[in-house]
Amino acid sequence: MRGDNLREKLAHIVEHWSPQTVATVNDYDVRLAKVHGEFVRHTHQDSDEFFLVLDGELTIRMDAGDVVLGPGEIYVVPRGTPHQPSAATETSIMLVEPREVVNTGDAGGELTAIRDDI
Amino acid sequence: MRGDNLREKLAHIVEHWSPQTVATVNDYDVRLAKVHGEFVRHTHQDSDEFFLVLDGELTIRMDAGDVVLGPGEIYVVPRGTPHQPSAATETSIMLVEPREVVNTGDAGGELTAIRDDI
């Protein structure tokens, strides 16, 4: 058999900023998201957050400066660090974080996504 | 600033079957490895193991059958499942697993790698 193909999974994602779980590793999720525009600034007080850009370009704005990620580039936002992701064009990302982590962290609001898988 | 580039990290890896940690997410590692040939059959009794192929093709032999992964394909070997990874050509993979997981699991032997990062 074949494994799951990330591009095929991404093809099923329509909504921006709404991560979908594509694999679980014990109590951690591997999630895919399509993003475009500005996300809400937020903090995950209890967890680091791993980003890998698959396509496009992601900017993570933090107080210490911006981190820019192109395809194949990774960054871990340390726990407790306010960050605002943004993407000038539609961008596909992969996230790794504990399954209980919510996308908007402590900010909440209308962009808060329900944990879901595809 | 830019994030870390997986291809640049891979360029520093010479030894096959020796995963290098490129990021940590709380107590989990994101690891890169170059693999070629047959690895030892082994089991991680206490952890799932996430595989993403970046380049090449990985075959994971299990009692239930083989899983074949090409670039952009993922698979999670469930905890307690004996598996033997193999690659007919040099293949680059990304792993996600708890930092205490050892590459050879319960098999041990000369292919056992010390946890290291690049």
- Cβ-defined contact of B3 to A65 (cutoff 8 Å): no
Mean pLDDT by 10 residues, chain A (118 residues): 96 96 98 98 97 98 98 98 98 97 94 89
Q: Which positions in chain A touch B49 (Cβ < 8 Å)?
A: 25
**CB neighbourhood size of B92 (10 A):** 21
Q: Do B28 and A75 touch (CB under 8 A)?
A: no
Q: Could you tell me the two tokens for B20? A: 């290098």
pLDDT at B118: 81
Rounded Cα distance, B78 and B56, in Å? 23
* Mean of pLDDT values over B18-24: 97
Q: Say what percent of chain B tops pLDDT 90.
A: 96
Cβ atoms within 10 A of the Cβ of B110, count? 6
Q: Do B73 and A24 touch (CB under 8 A)?
A: no
Q: Which of residues 35-64 of A touch B (CB under 8 A)?
A: 47-53
Q: ipTM, 2 decimals?
A: 0.95
Nearest CA distance, A58 vs chain B (angstrom): 10
pLDDT of B117 over the 90 cut = no
Domains assigned to chain B: 6-98 (2.60.120.10)
Choose among A25, A48, A97: nearest Cβ to B97. Answer: A25
**A24 close contact with B: CB closer than 8 A:** yes
Secondary structure of residue B32 in the 3-state scheme: strand
Tokens standing for residue B112: 């056992």
For B21-47, what is the mean pLDDT?
97
Q: Strand runs (DSSP E) across B1-82, as ranges?
A: 4-5, 20-25, 28-38, 49-55, 58-62, 65-69, 73-77
Q: Do B4 and A73 touch (CB under 8 A)?
A: yes
| Contact assignment for B5 to A73 by CB distance below 8 Å | yes
Q: Would you give the end-to-end CA distance of chain A in angstroms?
A: 18
Q: What is the mean pLDDT of residues B18-30?
A: 97
B70-108 confidence digits (pLDDT tens) = 999 999 999 999 999 999 999 999 999 999 999 999 999
At which residue do the structure tokens 């402590």 appear?
A106
